[in-house]
Amino acid sequence: MNKFLYLLLAVSLSLSLASCDKDLWKLDDDSEGSYKPVEGDPISTTLDNSGEFTEWIKVLNYTGTYSILNALYDGTSTAHKYTVFAPTDQALQSFYAQKGVNGIEDLGIEYATAIVKTMTYDGDSLKLTEKFSADVTSLVYTSEAGERIYLYVNTAGEGFLLRNQSAEDTIAISRNYVTCSNGFVYTADGVLTPLVETVLDRIADGRSTIMTEALKATGYDKALSTVADTTYVLGSRRVSRRYYTFLNVTDEDFARNNIRSLADLKNQLEAVAKDASVGQDSLLKQYVQYHLFETSYTYSDFAEMVGTDSVRIWGTAAPNQILMVHRHLLKEVEMTLEDGTTKLDTLYYITFNDDNDTYEKASIRWYNKTYDVSVDVGKETCLWSSDRNILAKNGYVHHISDWMPVYEPSQSTVVWDLADYTEVRNTLGILYQPAAPVSSETKTDLSRLSCYTVEEGPDGSSNNSYSSLCYVTCKSNLKDCLNHDRVVFNLGYQGSVTMSTPTLVKGKYKVTISMAYLTELSIIRTSNGCKGGLMRLTVDGDNQILTAPYTTITKSLAGVYETTLYEEIEFTETASHVFKFVIMDPAASTNSKFSLQFDAITFTPIE
């Protein structure tokens, strides 16, 4: 949980304390230190003195955030600063009129707080005139509400444009800013609508009553309305965000399949079930899980393929149940951009389980990789963007065009990102899978997560740069790493990691591994004073091999390289499988440069 949220909790839980002692608030968290007002002109005071932000000051006072934006951190860490995009009085009055209310109190304190958090950034303060250049005309940051906010240079006039992740609002902000003792203030001519809806809220919008009933009947309504979990480990509070993706079926699409009630859905599931002994309640639970992913995926994530493939397998929340995504080329069209230039763009649409002829293929309408525009392609008009990428606080909802019962597709290529686990995503939050190479790596210890079984070697490791199992984001020298991240094995001699693969369709596969190579790993590549990173690999406790994959790299340049682990391996059932890596190179304990840095493992079907 970030500092801003801790402060919000401190204010909301300690109002009586603040009223008695305005110079000191105790924080209800695990850090030491306190927050206190500072001398000079901090943000709230600056806004109050301006006279242009009277209504915004009311919002800050109503939510208890006035004092937060008037304070600096007074502890062992450096003072943190805020950037506030402050709406003018006119902007807030227009926002109230849009919402049909008279003032901020009519929206409620929770919604009002979400507005403040959406319009506030805590971190390295955003001096936009320094951030933008001729080559950099846009940037992305994460607001205190946890939503990605996009900033653009306003080509139509001075200043900048601000847009939220859901693309519902675009507002203009001033080019000039006011420097305060604890940050910066920009003037905003509007208010970004805060993201307050959960995945459940997005589904329960009145168009999907059958699916909403199914979620309630199976208990998944509680999961999809949960944003974060709070646990205590040895007295320390740990907050883990939850993220979901749900492929939703509206009542209209159910009706096209003669399903008009929850009872109809149960009967249909029973009719197509392979095992007649499974009850309707169990089938309904599996059906809901089959439409659920316990991570957040955008529509473009589903449309991304591996190499030249046009088919990809995805695991679902239903145990050992997967679906197949087909990407179809629709048409190449010439797009006219805002600046009058043109660009050739490719239109795709995707379908699920396209090799099943027993029912209509499910799809998420049409997909355009870059732009949300309507294009007449003769068949029908493309891009019903309201059906996809429906953003929620805890993930995404995509409406699909068929009821999509569970079934087993044919084999297809599966790429296993070794960090692609729900627990990893929920632990890292916004740091997980950066959209582009990072300027500075972040490292996160994974060794205590339950999705990995980690055993360090008896002599440990001499490499102090990484934890025993470490998640690391990638800079541009490793730009080809899948999702711009990697997992570092720093276990020492005879240390091991055990982890489960995604669900794989039964059949034969060739198995390859991609590795992140840095010049510091040249001792392994050249077997200089070590055994080339030798490790023992088993699958499901069998299929044992000894391999030193880094020795297959023939170049000394940093990058991502691939080598084969198994020329052929056969799985006799559709299921997840257990891989165990044991480091068998003594240098893993004695050499401070030793580590094995893996990106992904790919399973390619063998006919």
Q: What domains are there in the chain, each with its CATH number?
A: 3-188 (2.30.180.10), 199-399 (2.30.180.10), 414-605 (2.60.120.260)
Q: Over 80: is that where the pLDDT of 333 sits?
A: no
Residue 26 pLDDT greater than 80, yes or no: no
| Cα 199 from Cα 184, distance rounded (Å) | 34
The helix/strand/coil state of 372 is coil
Residue 308: what pLDDT?
73
State how far the Cα of 86 lies from the Cα of 185, in Å rounded to an integer: 7
Q: What is the 3-state secondary structure (H, E, C) of 308-331?
A: CCCEEEEECCCCCCEEEEEEEEEE
Average pLDDT over residues 182-195: 90
Q: Which segment of 58-72, 193-207, 373-387, 524-538 scores lowest on mean pLDDT? A: 373-387
**Range with the poorest average pLDDT among 313-322, 346-355, 491-500:** 346-355
Conformational region of residue 83, where left means phi above 0, alpha means psi within -120 to 50, and beta covers everything else? beta
Using the predicted structure, report yes or no on whether residue 302 has a pLDDT greater than 90.
no
Burial class of residue 47, CB neighbours in 10 A (0-12, 13-18, 19+):
buried
Model confidence at 464: pLDDT above 50: yes
pLDDT of residue 305: 79
Length of the chain (residues): 607
pLDDT (0 to 100) of residue 526:
95
Percent of residues, the chain, with pLDDT higher than 90: 51
pLDDT of the residue at 19: 28
Q: What is the C-alpha separation between 147 and 120, in angstroms, rounded?
A: 11
Query: Given a cut of 90, is residue 28 above it in pLDDT?
Result: no
Q: CB of 547 within 8 A of CB of 533?
A: no
Assign 388 to helix, strand or coil.
Answer: coil
Which residue did the predictor score with more confidence, 85 or 1?
A: 85
For the stretch 116-132, pLDDT in tens is: 999 988 765 667 777 77
CA distance 346 to 493: 50
Q: What is the mean pLDDT of residues 324-330?
A: 78
pLDDT surpassing 90 at residue 293: yes
The pLDDT, as a whole number, for residue 121 is: 84
The pLDDT mean for the chain works out to: 82
Q: What pLDDT is recorded for position 386?
A: 57
On the CB side of 330, CA atoms within 13 Å amount to: 24
Q: Note the maximum CA span of the chain.
A: 75
Mean pLDDT of the 59-64 span:
95
Assign 289 a pLDDT band (cuts: 50, 70, 90): very high
Please give the structure tokens belonging to residue 234: 């040895």
Range from 109-113, 344-348, 378-382, 441-445 carrying the lowest mean pLDDT: 378-382
**pLDDT tens-digit readout, 466-500:** 999 999 999 999 999 999 999 999 999 999 999 99
Rounded to whole angstroms, the Cα distance separating 270 from 503 reads 24
Residue ranges of E strands in 75-169: 81-87, 120-123, 138-142, 148-153, 160-164
Distant-in-sequence, close-in-space partners of 212: CB < 8 Å, separation ≥ 6: 200, 203, 204, 221
- Where is average pLDDT lowest: 37-46, 86-95, 166-175, 455-464? 37-46
Q: How confident is the model at residue 274 (pLDDT cuts 50, 70, 90)?
A: confident
Q: In the structure, what pLDDT confidence band is assigned to residue 151 with cuts at 50, 70 and 90?
A: confident
Q: What is the pLDDT of residue 206?
A: 93
Q: Mean pLDDT check: name the lowest of 156-165, 510-519, 537-546.
A: 156-165
